[in-house]
C-alpha cells in the first residue's frame, strides 16, 4: 500500500508504478503546490528550536534566584545547565539513528513534552538535587530527543539551498535566545522563578509538541525531489545516497570535524551561562543584564539567516573555519572590556558567529557523508559538543568561585576557537 503524503517514515516509500512509453517504471507524484513543502518542515524545525533552546538559554536568568533560594555556589548552579547541555548533545548518538529508522516526528514530539515536564517539575523542587534531576534530565532529555532529528530532517529536503534552509531552521535557537530569556526575567520579577518555569513548561508542551507534528523525514513520500525541483519525475525506490555510519567514522573528514568541535566546545556555552551573572556582578540590574542574552539572540538570528546563504556560495567548510575565528575574536572584547556597551557589542558579534557555526555544521556533515544516515552521523558528531558543554560552563563557575574572575575561562574559550579553526583549515589544505 502507498504511504500517505504526510508520512514521517525516513525509509524510501513503496511506489505504485506507471509504465512510460519506454516500458520503464515511473514514480507517481503528488499534485503541485505553490509552496515547496520543505519550507513547512523548516518552519516546524524552527519552532522546535525556538522552544527547546529558548528554555535552555533562559537558564542564565534563573542563576541568581536559584543561588538565593538554595544557598548554592555559582559552580553548583552552573552544573544544572551543564548536565542538560551534555544530555541534549550526547543523546543525538541514540536519537539520530532512531530518527533515521523511524522518522523525526514521534521522537521530536516526545522531546517537547520532556522539555515542558522538566521545567514544571523543577519548579516544585525543594533542593538542588531535585533541580539537577528535573531540569537537568528533563530539559536535557527533551532537547536531546528533538534537536538532531529535527535539524537532520531539514537536510533531506534541500540540496542547492541546504545551508540557507538549515540556517532558517536553527534561527529558532537565535530567536528563542532573543525572546525567551528577557521574558523569563520579567516573569521571575513578576511571578517568581517557580511560576515562571511552570508557565514556560506549559508553552513547551502545547506549542512545541503541536509544531513537531509537521515534521516529515523524506520528500520522496510526497513524490518530491530536494529543493522542489523535478517534482514530476522523482525516480527510484532505493536507499538514499551516502556513507554508512561506520564508513563515516573511519574517514579523515569526520575525525577533523570531531576534533575541531571538541576543542571549541569547552568554551562555546560559557557566555550563555555566565554573561548575565558577570554583568550583575558589576552593578547591572538583572532585567537589563538578561537583555545581553537577547542581544546574543539577535546576532545569532542574523548569523543564521545571512551566513547560511553565504556559505552556499562561498563554500560551507570555508565558512565553518571563519565561524571559529569569529567566535574567538569576539571573546577578546569580553576579556578586555566590562562596560555594558562593550558587553553588548561582544554579545552581538559572538551571536553572529555562533549562529553561523550552528547553521553551517549540519550542512558540512551532509556534504561530506550524504543523506542516508545523516541523523546518526550528526548525533555522533555532537557528542564532542556534549563533553565540552558538561565541563566548560561548570568549570568556569568553579574558577569564578575560587578566583572571583572569569578571565581564565574566557581566554581558554578564545584559544579553543582559534585552535579549532586551525584544525579545519589544515584539513582543507590536505584535501580532506
Whether 165 contacts 157, CB under 8 Å = yes
What gap in Å lies between CA 384 and CA 386, rounded to an integer?
A: 5
C-alpha cell recorded at residue 317: 567548510
State the DSSP code for 339: S
Per-residue pLDDT, 17: 43
DSSP string covering 352-375, please? HHHHHHHHHHHHHHHHHHBSTTHH
Contact by Cβ (8 Å): 119, 198: yes
Predicted TM-score (pTM) of the model is: 0.71
What domains are defined for the chain?
A: 38-223+240-429 (1.20.1250.20)
What pLDDT does 5 receive?
A: 45
Give me the pLDDT at residue 230, please: 53
Q: What is the pLDDT of residue 10?
A: 57
pLDDT at 430: 57
Cα(347)–Cα(288) distance, rounded to whole angstroms? Answer: 13
Contacts of 349 (CB under 8 A, 6+ apart): 299, 326, 329, 330, 333
Question: Looking at the DSSP assignment, which residues form a beta bridge with residue 17?
Answer: 27
What are the Cα distances from residue 395, in Å, to 79, 88, 191, 217, 268?
9, 19, 31, 38, 13
**Could you tell me if 359 and 173 are in contact, meaning their C-beta atoms sit under 8 angstroms apart?**
no
Would you call 252 exposed, middle or buried from its count of C-beta atoms within 10 A (0-12, 13-18, 19+)?
A: exposed
* Closest residue by Cα to residue 4 from 25, 30, 26, 27: 30
Angle value at C-alpha 76, between 358 and 86, nearest 5 degrees: 30
To the nearest 10°, report the CA torsion of 219, 221, 224, 226.
20
Give pLDDT tens digits along the chain (432 positions).
Answer: 444 445 565 555 544 444 333 333 334 444 555 777 788 889 999 999 999 999 888 888 898 899 999 999 888 998 998 888 888 888 888 888 888 788 888 999 999 999 999 999 999 999 999 999 999 899 999 999 998 888 888 877 887 777 788 878 888 888 888 889 889 989 999 999 999 999 999 999 999 999 998 888 777 776 777 766 654 444 444 555 678 888 888 898 899 999 999 999 989 989 988 998 899 998 898 888 888 988 998 898 888 778 877 887 888 889 999 999 999 999 999 999 989 999 999 999 999 999 899 888 888 888 888 767 777 888 888 888 888 888 888 899 899 999 989 999 999 999 999 999 999 998 766 555
Other C-beta atoms closer than 10 Å to the C-beta of 95 total 28
The cell 563554500 sits on which residue? 315
Amino acid at each position: 500500500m502507498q504511504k500517505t503524503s504526510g508520512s514521517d517514515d525516513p525509509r524510501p516509500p513503496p511506489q505504485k508504478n506507471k509504465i512510460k512509453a519506454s516500458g520503464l517504471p515511473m514514480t507517481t507524484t503528488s499534485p503541485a503546490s505553490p509552496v515547496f513543502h520543505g519550507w513547512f518542515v523548516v518552519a516546524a524545525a524552527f519552532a522546535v528550536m525556538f522552544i527547546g533552546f529558548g528554555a535552555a538559554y533562559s537558564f542564565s536568568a534563573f542563576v541568581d534566584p536559584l543561588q538565593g533560594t538554595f544557598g548554592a555556589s555559582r559552580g553548583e548552579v552552573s552544573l544544572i545547565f551543564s548536565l542538560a547541555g551534555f544530555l541534549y548533545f550526547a543523546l543525538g548518538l541514540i536519537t539520530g539513528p532512531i530518527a533515521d529508522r523511524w522518522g523525526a516526528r514521534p521522537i521530536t514530539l516526545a522531546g517537547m513534552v520532556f522539555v515542558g515536564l522538566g521545567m514544571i517539575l523543577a519548579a516544585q523542587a525543594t533542593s538542588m538535587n531535585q533541580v539537577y534531576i528535573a531540569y537537568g534530565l528533563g530539559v536535557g532529555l527533551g532537547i536531546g530527543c528533538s534537536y538532531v532529528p529535527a535539524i537532520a530532517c531539514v537536510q533531506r529536503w534541500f540540496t542547492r539551498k541546504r545551508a540557507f534552509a538549515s540556517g532558517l531552521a536553527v534561527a529558532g535557537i537565535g530567536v528563542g535566545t532573543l525572546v525567551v530569556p528577557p521574558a523569563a526575567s520579567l516573569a521571575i520579577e513578576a511571578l517568581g522563578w517557580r511560576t515562571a518555569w511552570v508557565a514556560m513548561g506549559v508553552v513547551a508542551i502545547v506549542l512545541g509538541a503541536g509544531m513537531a507534528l509537521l515534521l516529515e523525514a523524506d520528500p520522496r513520500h510526497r513524490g518530491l525531489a530536494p529543493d522542489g525541483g523535478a517534482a514530476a519525475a522523482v525516480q527510484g525506490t532505493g536507499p538514499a545516497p551516502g556513507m554508512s555510519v561506520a564508513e563515516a567514522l573511519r574517514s579523515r573528514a569526520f575525525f577533523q570535524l570531531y576534533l575541531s568541535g571538541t576543542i571549541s566546545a569547552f568554551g562555546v556555552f560559557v557566555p550563555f551561562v555566565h554573561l548575565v551573572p558577570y554583568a550583575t556582578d558589576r552593578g547591572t540590574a538583572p532585567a537589563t543584564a538578561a537583555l545581553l542574552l537577547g542581544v546574543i539572540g539577535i546576532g545569532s538570528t542574523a548569523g543564521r539567516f545571512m551566513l547560511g546563504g553565504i556559505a552556499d556560495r562561498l563554500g560551507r567548510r570555508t565558512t565553518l573555519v571563519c565561524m571559529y575565528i569569529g567566535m574567538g575574536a569576539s571573546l577578546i572584547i569580553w576579556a578586555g572590556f566590562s562596560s555594558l556597551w562593550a558587553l553588548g557589542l561582544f554579545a552581538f558579534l559572538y551571536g553572529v558567529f555562533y549562529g553561523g557555526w550552528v547553521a553551517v555544521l549540519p550542512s558540512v556533515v551532509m556534504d561530506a557523508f550524504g543523506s542516508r544516515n545523516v541523523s546518526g552521523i550528526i548525533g555522533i558528531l555532537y557528542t564532542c559538543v556534549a563533553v565540552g558543554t558538561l565541563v566548560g560552563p561548570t568549570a568556569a563557575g568553579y574558577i569564578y568561585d575560587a578566583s572571583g574572575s572569569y578571565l581564565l575561562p574566557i581566554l581558554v574559550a578564545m584559544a579553543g576557537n582559534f585552535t579549532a579553526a586551525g584544525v579545519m583549515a589544515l584539513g582543507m589544505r590536505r584535501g580532506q
